[in-house]
Amino acid sequence: MNRSLFPYDIFSELDRLQRAMQQAFELTPNIRGIGRGGFPALNIGGTAESVEIYAFAPGLNPDSIEIHLERNTLSLSGERKSDLPEGDKNSTVHINERFAGSFHRVVNLPEDIDPDNVSANYRDGVLHIRIKRKQAAVPRRIAIQ
């Protein structure tokens, strides 16, 4: 890598600038931080019956991913091994952008989830967690007599 040619790490400076900008625009950020740019990237959505979480975590052994649900807080943790050769003098790393190391992400979920009704599957490098909402919270149509 040629990054050492820079007098300081320009990439981390840009990252810091981006965080500062986000903080400036988002006046009341979540207490767990902005979270963007973390690994794995998360898409979260909901339907009337469930909350759906998609964690973009390619190249992991599904057994090594820890999923914890405590009250309405979901945490994902694990470790991703590096594919870079270590201590090999005959190879050169030209680009190193992929995440490696241990990760831990925590997100808040809606209050009405049912922690006993969770399913998770891992396909194409995406971990999909589906948590059903509590029955009482599912909107019901009330018939008028």
> What is the binding site for another protein (CB under 8 A)?
2, 36, 40-48, 50, 52, 54, 56-60, 83-85, 88, 90-99, 107, 122, 124-126, 128
Task: Output the smallest distance, CB 145 to another protein, in A.
Answer: 29
Q: Whose Cβ is closer to another protein: residue 87's or residue 144's?
A: 87
Comparison of 71 and 110: residue with beta carbon closer to another protein:
110
Kindly state the smallest distance separating residue 70's Cβ from another protein, in Å. Answer: 19
- Provide CB contacts within 8 A for 24, sequence distance 6+: none
| Structure tokens that stand for 125 in this block | 């490098």
Judged by beta carbon, residue 77 or residue 130, the one nearer another protein is 130
**Structure tokens, 69:** 């649900």
Shortest approach of another protein to residue 134 CB, angstroms?
A: 18
CB closer to another protein, 47 vs 144: 47
Please give, one letter per residue, the 3-state secondary structure of 32-73. Answer: CCCCCCCCCEEEEEECCCEEEEEEECCCCCHHHCEEEEECCE
Instruction: Provide the minimum distance between the beta carbon of 35 and another protein in the complex, in angstroms, as a whole number.
Output: 8
CB 50, CB 132: distance < 8 Å? yes
Distance CA 133, CA 135 (A): 6
